[in-house]
């Protein structure tokens, strides 16, 4: 389950990674505090939203346990598919990036990148896992990916942005398929 949580963390980090690459493209000089701010904004929101999704859903989980595997599969399929779709639509969005790192610029993009993490938190309510550890893994992983994305964007440009989102989307879809197949006893793991 720890490996699965880490793979989910990497997957939901891809939006923040991609946006950070775009932001890195707009920065003439990258300061350490800007890297730290980026990591904290994205990592913090990616840690907060699964908690909200988890607790909002855990209240109702006893009523839907018969179909929880379908809910997990559907959410991860939706999130992964959306990430892949967005990978092909972001060129225009990234062209509008601004180098500012204040709350007016960071709050909306951190919020937007974390909506998928809310859905992941919903799916966590149906899984047997430690929510605190899972959220910590997601937050730290996203913070590291966002910081790395900012630096990569500054150094190398946006060449890896689209592949990162596509890979992240496919990983989420594959985890959803794995959960479904396990529950339907079609996969002996």
Distance of CA 144 to CAs 16, 54, 122, Å?
10, 23, 23
The pLDDT confidence band at residue 166, using thresholds 50, 70 and 90, is: confident
CA angle 55, 81, 137 (to 5 degrees): 45
134 compared with 98, residue with greater pLDDT = 134
Kindly give the residue spans of alpha helices, DSSP state H, lying in the chain.
2-25, 32-58, 61-64, 68-87, 90-95, 103-124, 131-156, 161-183
What is this structure's pTM? 0.69
Instruction: Single out the residue of 24, 10, 42, 18 nearest to residue 156, CA to CA.
Output: 24
Q: Please, which pLDDT band fits residue 152 given cuts at 50, 70 and 90?
A: confident
Q: d(Cα 69, Cα 177) in Å, to the nearest integer?
A: 9
């Amino acid at each position: 389950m720890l490996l699965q949580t880490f793979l989910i963390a990497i997957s939901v980090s891809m939006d923040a990674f991609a946006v950070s690459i775009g932001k890195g493209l707009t920065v003439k000089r990258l300061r350490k505090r800007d890297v730290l701010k980026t990591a904290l904004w994205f990592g913090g929101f990616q840690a907060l939203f699964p908690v909200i999704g988890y607790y909002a859903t855990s209240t109702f989980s006893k009523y839907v346990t018969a179909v929880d595997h379908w809910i997990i599969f559907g959410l991860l399929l939706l999130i992964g598919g959306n990430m892949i779709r967005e990978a092909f639509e972001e060129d225009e969005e990234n062209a509008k990036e601004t180098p500012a790192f204040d709350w007016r610029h960071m709050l909306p993009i951190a919020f937007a990148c974390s909506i998928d993490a809310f859905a992941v938190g919903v799916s966590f309510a149906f899984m047997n896992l430690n929510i605190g550890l899972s959220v910590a893994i997601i937050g730290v992983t996203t913070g590291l990916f966002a910081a790395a994305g900012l630096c990569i964007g500054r150094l190398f440009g946006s060449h890896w942005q689209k592949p990162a989102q596509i890979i992240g989307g496919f990983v989420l879809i594959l985890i959803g398929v794995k959960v479904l197949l396990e529950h339907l006893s079609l996969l002996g793991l």
